[in-house]
Structure 1
Amino acid sequence: MSEATAVEKVEDIEIRLLLEALFLKYHYDFRNYAMASIKRRLKKAREQLGFDTFSAMQEGLLHDQAMLPQLLRFLTVQVSEMFRDPSYFQAIREKVVPHLRTYPSLKVWIAGCSSGEELYSLVILFREEGLEDRTIFYATDISHEALEAAEAGVYALDRIQLFTENHRKSGGKSSLSDYYQAAYGKALFDKTLRRHVVFSDHSLVTDAVFAEMHLISCRNVMIYFDRALQDRAVGLFKDSLARKGFLGLGAKENLRFSLHADAFTDFVREEKIYQRRVE
């Protein structure tokens, strides 16, 4: 065995022990995330937090609670944009909304909401389609820091041009500028967009169903899970959806190999939007 391979094997052991410590002490469970992705993020964390080894990181995590939010910043993916993949939101608007109109009240779950871009996209879409006032939006994430950012609704002004273009391409019926105020290089989104939103920490790894949903949007989260954890998450979505409810996934995600695939039908195949079968 080469020296490089030996070092790699030791690092893999250290990482598994670090993730075990994170779970046992703080109940954040990353043990079944895709190893290659986790390793990449932990290496970056080790460098930027100034540790020589993953074992030293583990010791720091166990004895210094202040390190937890710093580490979670690296482990949780918080890269998004408003109306990301505009054709997905256009499909929601044109294909899913007509079905949702038939319900007197609605519940929508944005799972892994990160810093809130997808949440505000859906709230704006529902407002434009006249459904906002009958809807409760549940925005969840495992990161308290991400939830605080989502609730604040403040984004760098240099991102707004992209958000605006995405909104237009998604079939937006108004100007995105109607929903925010610009000042000091930031865009502050209207607080009325949050009047029907419940922000809550929730882990797809360890937590259970908490309401019956008509639409669940969980995009670009499961690509970081291993197969067993993907199955757990899809099972959770299945059990959380109302009869004929809808599930939207990210562009690189699908249900093809899931244990729960038979519980869904393709609704808008090209946009990874599925509908819960009636059993």
Structure 2
Amino acid sequence: MIEDRELELLINDIFDYHGYDFGGYSRASFKRRVDRLYQMDGFGSFGEFLSRVRADEAYFKRMIEEITVNVTEMFRDPSFYTVLRQEIIPVLATKPFIRIWHAGCSTGEEVYSMAILLHEANLLHKSLLYATDINPLVLSSAKSGVFPLRMMKQYSENYLASGGKQDFSKYYIANYGMAKFDSHFTEKMVFSQHNLVSDSSFNEFDLILCRNVLIYFDKELQDRALTLFDESLSPLGYMALGTKETMKFSTVQRKYEQLRREKIWKKIQ
């Protein structure tokens, strides 16, 4: 197990050698993931591990992939997508063009879920979905639109529970144990590496989704990310967070009102 002082040294060296700032991440979560990697790769000492992280670019890339990966699924929390389908998307439909940002998109399941909602509302043609993550490997996976076929049963159940009416299998082609989603979805997506810690706003959006990412940040970094989202959100736009996340006690809270029980906020000033 890595000691606390060693963890701080690792965080400092990652920033000094590679420019990635994990200083604001929850120490407990970050330590748990680093410990797992340290043990999985069988290092004999912390010095050996640190030297590898400093000097071996390929290994550092592996470390980033391991400690930043998030668990996700299509139409996760169906009640959330029900609210999107029934209340948010009809408002977005009034706009001449729709821009949506999925921040911390991981392997992209939620981006494709949104594309399906927009397609069924006949809005995909005038929409653009920006999907960003710090992890280049998961972005590559998301861009491919290919997911394990064994997951489609669960995703189909989520889709139906969210109010979907179609045969979910019409949206993908099954082959060799994988499901590849229709390319007309990916044509409306832009995938890009983006660090919520250090990168700035890059567009103005009507809806921003960052679900189950902020739980890994400390209070200061959460506030920084929420400020970034606020700067990126159009007036009367919507911001969606994960089930255990909130805008309460943030510096931008006064500018928003929460919708019902779901973690969706509307920008009112």
Structure 2-normalised TM-score?
A: 0.97
Within 2, Cα distance between the matches of 1:29 and 1:50? 25
Q: 1:172 aligns with which of 164, 170, 181?
A: 164
Q: Return the offset for 1:94.
A: 0.6
Query: Could you tell me which residue of structure 1 aligns to residue 241 of structure 2?
Result: 249
Query: Could you tell me which residue of structure 1 aligns to residue 268 of structure 2?
Result: 277
Query: Could you tell me which residue of structure 2 aligns to residue 95 of structure 1?
Result: 87
The alignment of Structure 1 onto Structure 2 pairs a total of residues equal to 269
Within 2, Cα distance between the matches of 1:54 and 1:251? 36
Q: 1:49 aligns with which of 22, 26, 41?
A: 41
Would the aligned equivalents of 1:14 and 1:55 in 2 still touch at CA under 8 Å?
A: no
Would the aligned equivalents of 2:69 and 2:135 in 1 still touch at CA under 8 Å?
A: no
Gaps of 5+ in 2: none
Query: Could you tell me which residue of structure 2 aligns to residue 16 of structure 1?
Result: 8
Q: Return the offset for 1:173.
A: 3.1
* Partner SS for 1:66: helix
* Partner SS for 2:37: helix
* Partner SS for 1:46: helix
Within 2, Cα distance between the matches of 1:12 and 1:123? 43
Q: Return the offset for 1:178.
A: 1.1
* Partner SS for 1:271: coil
Would the aligned equivalents of 1:18 and 1:55 in 2 still touch at CA under 8 Å?
A: no
Would the aligned equivalents of 1:18 and 1:57 in 2 still touch at CA under 8 Å?
A: no
Gaps of 5+ in 1: 1-7
Q: Return the offset for 1:34.
A: 0.4
State the 4+ residue runs in structure 1 displaced beyond 3 angstroms. none
* Partner SS for 2:137: helix
Equivalences for residues 223-242 of structure 1 within 5 A: 223-242=215-234
Are positions 1:85 and 2:74 aligned together? no
Q: Deviation digits for residues 107-137 of structure 1, max 9, x if unmatched?
A: 0000000001000000011101111111111
Q: Deviation digits for residues 229-267 of structure 1, max 9, x if unmatched?
A: 000000011110000000001011111121211121112
* Partner SS for 1:21: helix
Identical residues among aligned pairs (%): 42
Within 1, Cα distance between the matches of 2:81 and 2:45? 43
Structure 1-normalised TM-score?
A: 0.94
